[in-house]
Structure 1
Amino acid sequence: MEKTNKIPFEEALNMTGFGKFNYITLLVNVLVILGTVFEIYSVSYVVPMSACDLNTTVYQQGLIASIPMAGIIFTSYIWGYLADIKGRRIIVVWSLFLSFCSSTLACLSPNWIFLFVCKFMSSSALAGTYPLGLTTLSEFTPAHKRATMVAMIGTVFTMSFGLIGLLAIPVSNLTFSYHISFLNINLVPWRLLNFLTTAPAALAAVATYLSYETPKFLLSNGQEEKALEILKRMFEINTGKGREDYQVHSLSLDESRSEDSKGLWGSIKTQTKPLLKLPLLKNTLMLSLMFIIVYFVTNPFYVWLPVVADAVVHTRNSGKTGLNLCETLRYSENRTVVQENQCTLDSSAMLVVFAVTVFLGLLNAVLSSTINYIGKKKLLICVQVISGLAGFCINFSTKWALNGALYLVFLIGILNFGFLCTFSVDMFPTYVKAMAICLTMMIGRGASVIGINVVKSMLAYNCELAFYVFPALAFIGAFTGFMLPGDKKKEEVSP
């Protein structure tokens, strides 16, 4: 083959095959997502466990629990910009490293304000890692496997929340306490749990540092020789053949590039402009709307899953029957308050949370493996419809087991986080892809912050209405899903 013959990047990527290299890349990004979820959602467990040690009020606990999402929204766009300019790999490494340092510092918190600040810093550092992990995985994966691999990450995201609960059970039941005088703190179990949940970020940082920058990013930045070397390495690992057998000597990238600009803000403006102009404006608005709906409808109920699980378990154990889910929540809320300074977690409820997340994770794995056959658009719409139907039925069930089952089915809407990302990685060119994904997810997370507070209030004061309004919004999300681009015809795959 002549060196002057340029091969389109997607064709060259497909020629590397699919094998060990792709699975190693998946494993690295699994560690990235695991480290991110552990750090962001660990506050759901660390906050109640630290209440006695830090003497926090309910209001202060709420502030600490909500700050990670605020940190993510605050810096997500900046990380996306940096990843499009400096590269995916180096930004993910720095994000994870800074988060690990900040969260480790939080283990030494003498008061709730220090913990609040450290958690804000750690979540701000991690803001871009989830979308950048998806971007990296997509740019290493041939087109015919891309949707499946990206969707599989949703399994890790879903199950990680339950894994924290499983880890919290033995740690919360420990009773050690050692006073460190020069820091004026007590070394107690919640500090250990906080460190254990931040450790995966350090491991993920090392794994990412030892990996490669994506060849598509290198090519889009004029580094064709480096991109070719990585593609040859992928071919070598996947096929077991020598690099000389890889019959690609020159690459072309059928995408536009951003304009050169001077200064930080000028550069950010240049990177942002294509997302707010045709033809990409339509994609930006469409995905932002879908992320708003999915995050607003489902994520709040996922966040409050431990509360719901605790209410169902308590009501079942008390022998109370004939209640729908909302009546179960009210019954649990009105029960006799537990002993003062009780800062351990309910083990049975945490096991229920773990079981629910395992189910959702396995379901995501099954659906992800069929995405190329069913089609990602059909799959997303079906999940929205089924989730909405289950939510509508919740008010009409008076059996505790059916209450739990319907709530579980309602939660499958969270799987569309991953399915939406399979659209994101295909709908934007490389030079703005990371920023686009970070921007649309940031908008969705902003909606989630509002939803979390709205759901908390409605579950307490107008619970039944919540299970009419939010399922209705799920149906609106299904209808909106019809506007997403259809699945491309299957490309021929090399054996």
Structure 2
Amino acid sequence: MADCIRLLLHGFGKFNFLMQLVHISIIMGMVFETISVAYLVPASACELNTTISQQGLMAGMPLLGIIATSHIWGYLADTKGRRKILAWCMSLAFLFGTAAALSPDWIVFSVLKFLSASAVAGTFALALTLLSEVTPQHKRSFMVALTGTIFLSCTGLMAVISIPVLQLEFSYHIPHLNILFTPWRLLCIVFATPCALGAVGMYFSYESPRYLLTIGEEQKALETLKGIYKINTGKSGDDYQVSSLALDEDTGKPSNGLWSSMVSQTVPLLKPPLLKHTLLLSVLFIIVYIGFNPYLTWLPYITDGIVKSIERGEENLSFCDMLRASHNETVTENEDCSLNSFAMVTVFVINIMIAALNTILSSLINYVGRKRMLIGIQLITGVAGLCVNLSNSWIVSSILFVVFMSGVLNFGFLSVFSVDIFPTYVKAMAVCLTLMVGRGSSVLGINILKQLLVYDCELSFYSFAGLVFVGGLIAFLLPGDKKNFTKDPAET
């Protein structure tokens, strides 16, 4: 019988939960490799003898790696297959991430972190694509919606993992490399481990049946669906009541190569009527990412400084005074580069709270409205950031800082507009382009923020939080929730 590809026929069960586990390991590997610098850079500062500027460069390398190769991995996944490319990405990330643990200096560390981040650059989007293409329609939104919560939870999990590892006391000399293998190097290997798990998971998983149909492999797609049906139901694949498949969408025009494909997809975004949407979203992505991502990167450093100041009894200082006092003591008195255990637990709690808030607000967004949600978060968090240093109560200042940090939720909420505003034929390129612009601005923000936190902390909050507030005002220019977005010509 002829039938379109309806994943509902193979059911929803064990296979889909196994795919979600693989999906989690891939997201975890991506998060660990790109955000691990937040823990490894300060922990390695004493051994590698890095300056403030060098630490900023080290922390920005993963974002540069993501910017450099995101488009390439997306192109390869569309031409070589999601499963194969994901397996290669995770394998290379594990290789380079593990090698970074043996870095003799900060330059080698930065290069290897650049390479590991380059390897995982496209894994988030590719894993999400593969997950959606093997999940039935009625469960797809739920499974995909969990991704944001998983991402934020993984950032918190890193703090908990770092506690027992960094508290270890050992130092082994490796003669050939002339380095001391210390706890921060072990932590580097631990953070790379999920990439290996993701690579193994991809090796044993199925390719997307929808992708197989786009390249004309109908028989392989049918065998894949039978295999999924067998895992989910426990029945024989012969019981699967489909004998032929047809893809229910246009497969698009054949591409002449990477460069021509990228040009043909990019040019429409830079011409009317899409140009105004491209410019507006690019500006908002820059503001959101440069406003929040640097603080997310340096969150372990900031939290560590505040907790150490509280433990010394310096509770009647402003937020920045507490952070400045901790930095001065570390540099001038004991040269201690360790991270406080309670501070890392606090980082974990903050990230889990934001992850829970993401789940709640995601469920309310259809009632509140996407535009109102984004503007509200931007304005409230901007005001909170501006007020962080107005109180000498560390409790009040800390609450305001956490409220400010919750603005990272707009990473996801702003992406919703990229998906909806642009027509289908340039949607993927539009999302990649605007996201890359935002991430690119983060590299500059990460370096500027570390300098300001050390030399002019108050200015850092006034400038970054002020920019966030301005972003909330600019967001009023976004199309309303009831306004018709630009339609795909193919849909008119």
Normalising by structure 2, what TM-score?
Answer: 0.84
1:98-120 Cα offsets, whole Å, 9 max, x none, are 11111222222223322222122
1:324-403 to 2 correspondences below 5 Å = 324-333=318-327, 337=331, 339-368=333-362, 379-403=373-397
Mark the CA change 1:410 to 1:75 in structure 2 (over 3 Å): closer, same or farther. same
Mark the CA change 1:198 to 1:245 in structure 2 (over 3 Å): closer, same or farther. closer
Query: Is the contact made by 1:33 and 1:129 (CA closer than 8 Å) also made in structure 2?
Result: yes
Task: Tell me if 1:451 matches 2:445.
Answer: yes
Mark the CA change 1:312 to 1:48 in structure 2 (over 3 Å): closer, same or farther. closer
Query: Is the contact made by 1:217 and 1:430 (CA closer than 8 Å) also made in structure 2?
Result: no
Task: Tell me if 1:42 matches 2:39.
Answer: no
1:75-154 to 2 correspondences below 5 Å = 75-154=69-148
CA distance in 1, matches of 2:15, 2:368: 27
Partner in structure 2 of residue 62 of structure 1: 56
CA distance in 1, matches of 2:335, 2:192: 26
Number of aligned residues: 481
Task: Tell me if 1:309 matches 2:327.
Answer: no
CA distance in 2, matches of 1:276, 1:142: 36
CA distance in 2, matches of 1:396, 1:200: 42
Mark the CA change 1:224 to 1:383 in structure 2 (over 3 Å): closer, same or farther. farther
1:81-101 Cα offsets, whole Å, 9 max, x none, are 222222222111111111111
Query: Is the contact made by 1:76 and 1:439 (CA closer than 8 Å) also made in structure 2?
Result: no
Q: Which amino acid aligns with 1:203?
A: L
1:158-194 Cα offsets, whole Å, 9 max, x none, are 2223322222222222221222223322222222111
Partner in structure 2 of residue 207 of structure 1: 201
Of 359-368 and 65-74, more deviation after overlay is shown by 359-368
Partner in structure 2 of residue 466 of structure 1: 463
CA distance in 2, matches of 1:302, 1:29: 23
Q: Residue 338 of structure 2 aligns to a residue in which SS?
A: coil
Counterpart among 243, 253, 259 of residue 254 in structure 2: 259
CA distance in 1, matches of 2:436, 2:337: 33
Q: Residue 433 of structure 2 aligns to a residue in which SS?
A: helix
CA distance in 1, matches of 2:132, 2:417: 11
Counterpart among 405, 409, 414 of residue 403 in structure 2: 409
Q: Residue 34 of structure 2 aligns to a residue in which SS?
A: helix
CA distance in 2, matches of 1:149, 1:182: 48
Partner in structure 2 of residue 476 of structure 1: 473
Counterpart among 371, 390, 412 of residue 418 in structure 1: 412
Q: Which amino acid aligns with 2:93?
A: S
What's the CA shift for 1:321? Answer: 4.3
What's the CA shift for 1:197? Answer: 0.9
1:63-85 Cα offsets, whole Å, 9 max, x none, are 22221111111222222222222
Q: Residue 84 of structure 1 aligns to a residue in which SS?
A: helix
Mark the CA change 1:436 to 1:123 in structure 2 (over 3 Å): closer, same or farther. same
What's the CA shift for 1:379? Answer: 4.7
Partner in structure 1 of residue 490 of structure 2: none
- When the two chains are superposed, the root-mean-square deviation of aligned CA atoms in Å is 3.5
CA distance in 1, matches of 2:383, 2:9: 44
Mark the CA change 1:183 to 1:326 in structure 2 (over 3 Å): closer, same or farther. closer
Which structure 2 residue ranges, 5 or more long, are not aligned? 486-492
1:331-376 Cα offsets, whole Å, 9 max, x none, are 5455574545423222222221122112122323344455667666
CA distance in 2, matches of 1:301, 1:229: 48
What's the CA shift for 1:408? Answer: 1.1
Query: Is the contact made by 2:218 and 2:244 (CA closer than 8 Å) also made in structure 1?
Result: no
Instruction: Indicate the structure whose relative CO is greater, using CA pairs within 8 Å and at least 6 residues apart.
Output: 1
Query: Is the contact made by 2:281 and 2:418 (CA closer than 8 Å) also made in structure 1?
Result: yes
Q: Which amino acid aligns with 2:193?
A: A
Task: Tell me if 1:182 matches 2:176.
Answer: yes
Mark the CA change 1:314 to 1:466 in structure 2 (over 3 Å): closer, same or farther. farther
What's the CA shift for 1:34? Answer: 0.4
Partner in structure 1 of residue 435 of structure 2: 441
What's the CA shift for 1:137? Answer: 2.6
Task: Tell me if 1:294 matches 2:285.
Answer: no
1:161-180 to 2 correspondences below 5 Å = 161-180=155-174
CA distance in 1, matches of 2:229, 2:283: 39
Query: Is the contact made by 2:52 and 2:451 (CA closer than 8 Å) also made in structure 1?
Result: no
Q: Which amino acid aligns with 1:470?
A: L
Q: Which amino acid aligns with 2:61?
A: I
Q: Which amino acid aligns with 1:179?
A: H
1:16-51 Cα offsets, whole Å, 9 max, x none, are 554433332222111111011111111222223333
1:6-25 to 2 correspondences below 5 Å = 7=4, 12-14=6-8, 16-25=10-19
Q: Residue 102 of structure 2 aligns to a residue in which SS?
A: coil
Normalising by structure 1, what TM-score?
Answer: 0.83
1:233-252 to 2 correspondences below 5 Å = 233-238=227-232, 244=239, 246=241, 249-252=244-247
What's the CA shift for 1:264? Answer: 4.5
Q: Percent identity?
A: 49
Query: Is the contact made by 2:60 and 2:447 (CA closer than 8 Å) also made in structure 1?
Result: no
Q: Residue 107 of structure 1 aligns to a residue in which SS?
A: helix
Partner in structure 2 of residue 492 of structure 1: none
Query: Is the contact made by 1:35 and 1:197 (CA closer than 8 Å) also made in structure 2?
Result: yes
CA distance in 1, matches of 2:478, 2:234: 42
What's the CA shift for 1:202? Answer: 0.8
What's the CA shift for 1:206? Answer: 1.0
Query: Is the contact made by 1:255 and 1:429 (CA closer than 8 Å) also made in structure 2?
Result: no
